Structure 1
Amino acid sequence: MASRTRLILALGAACALAPAADAPAPKPAAAKICTTCHTTAANNLRGHFDNLVLKNNSFQMRVDERTEVLRFDKATLKVVTPEPAANAEAALKSIAKGHEVRVEYTEKEGVKTAVGVFVKPPVKLAAEEIATLDEVQKLVAMGPEQGKYFLFDSRPAPRFMEGAIPTAVNLPFPAFDKNMDKLPADKQALVIFYCSGKTCNMSPGSLAKAKKLGYTRAKVFVEGMPAWARKNFGVLSPASLKAAYLDTSTPLVILDARPAAEASKGFPKGAVAADPAKVADLLKTFPPARLKPPVVVVDGTGGETARTVAMAFVKAGYVGVNVLSGGFQAWQAAALPVETGTPAAKATFIPKPRPGAISSAEFTKLAELAPAQRGVVILDVRNPDETKNGVIKGALTIPEPQLLARLSEIPKDAKVLCHCSTGIRAELAYHLLKEKGYDVRFLPTEITIIDSGEFTLD
């Protein structure tokens, strides 16, 4: 009897320790790119700073494809930035969207509260280990043979495929040890590494590995791709363009800089005509630079014509401008889609919507229906001082900071459309509700509502 009891207890303990078969996998606490150089402690997140909502003492941070919503108390929050700020609020406002951060937090009843935000500082290297933008520009203009240099892009392959510095070879830092054969045999050769900018540790990491291998003239172009893209065009191959843009349905603008007669025989699908003599006219109607449209310029062979057009766009303030290596000949050889006729005369660009966003047209169509006919719940997450001036007829109003405490008021089986006044708090609400299993979307647009319930979208 005693042995039977021990067996039952042992089996019970084993069941208690065994994870449930359908238990969700733990969510990564750090973006993949951060794990290259860092480990992440408990109650810490590593990722990229996103939207800041001072009105609600909240901010978003991206951990790869996931978005985390964090609250904070301005009186107690510690924010460490490279340049000292007057207070936590000023420090948070100084963090650029997309900058790498580490966040320490506490969690209670599903609400994460940030207690520390640590902004990734610039890397520190000795002066003799740094290659300047001017130096790299001069070397690239000469080319590797005349300039006697080797330029390596330390970023992961997906970033390299979006566009790279001309003459660079991709040697990703995470795979450095497996690709050392790409390095020159001559250990006295000038070797330059670069990555994603002043705070990126991948090129300094490559430098350390190269020096350990005995390379005596290894350097880092610390400012990296961001600085290069502000002053110069990049390059990408047809295979890279396909993988980075076409296969992922990432919006871009393709410019065909060849003569009209040549382009009429066949041009890249969706291309826009870009006569080098009329670039100024094209720029007048081009999507604004603030939208950051990726631009790829194609000529016959990836030569001077494409480079001239590309530099005109760079000088006009566009970043992410690339020349297609090998031009249209390479495009055809790679069997990329071609069409005939006449390329478009005007470029259009619609940025890829943020996950969960609903278009203004679709939101308007639903919101203008009678509440009983919508088939959705419109959730207004503005604060009371805003909703008192007007609410869309039939909308449910719950301030975004109160959402998790008032989930019972939101039908779990309904489709939910969140909006605020600008779209930022609505996106916070979207992520909070999606985490709880709701079928939810948000309006990423500014909206003005008057006391009659009528509204206008910007």
Structure 2
Amino acid sequence: MPHKKQTTLVLVLLTLFFALALQAQAGDQKDPGYQIIYTSQLKALFDSGGNGFLIIDARNPGEYAEVHIPGAINVPEKKFDEHAHLLPESRATQLIFYCNGVKCGKSKKAAAKALALGYTNVHVYAEGMPVWEEVEFPLIKGPDYEKPIEADIIAPEELNAWIASDRDDFTLVDVRDTEEFALGHIPGAVNIPVATFAAQSGTLDKKKTIVVYCNGGGRSNKAYRKVMNLGYKKYRQALFSDWKNAGFEVAL
């Protein structure tokens, strides 16, 4: 029961966070024609067992095969026209497109194409697969889902040189809990706990190298996987234990 209450609180906070973020992004932009649906809303639909909606994964077939939301069909955005026949005949059916998070444009592009075909009830689940997975909702997992990831580890000496040079082409992310971060962290790091990493990933610049770290590597390896799935192109992993053992500065 405590876990259920915690999940509910996380969903409420995530919904508020994304609602404010998307409102800020919208600004004076033209109405795209589709609506945004949030994790809590999609989960309510999912649990209802209704048949008046269809969840559509707009990612590529490999990503879909690795993991997807139960009941979702795969209509890759880049090959939308080839798969459009999979969409329901009724143009009034609620279509819900998703991909790899708020910075992934595939779901929005696919939704726009569905609107062009005459569908009138189109939604985008912008938080996408990473957040659905992060809050531990039901998943269809392929055989490679649990396959270990061999991370690209950056040595403390190299990371220290990056920091000392004041280069601005990377972001250092401490994925430990906020309490641990407050007790000491690598200088210049921002704190995004692994439990909410996907939800807060919109703050990270995709043009920069993302370096994730924790104490011994377990949590940062999970974050590393999330960075990969979120579509970032450059990423490394560091270890706080190695940093301290090398005698480098610990900031408070």
Report the TM-score when normalising by structure 2. Answer: 0.49
Larger radius of gyration: 1
Q: Which structure has more strand as a fraction of its residues?
A: 1
Q: Which structure has more helix as a fraction of its residues?
A: 2
Report the TM-score when normalising by structure 1. Answer: 0.29
- Name which structure has the greater RCO, CA cutoff 8 Å, separation 6+: 2
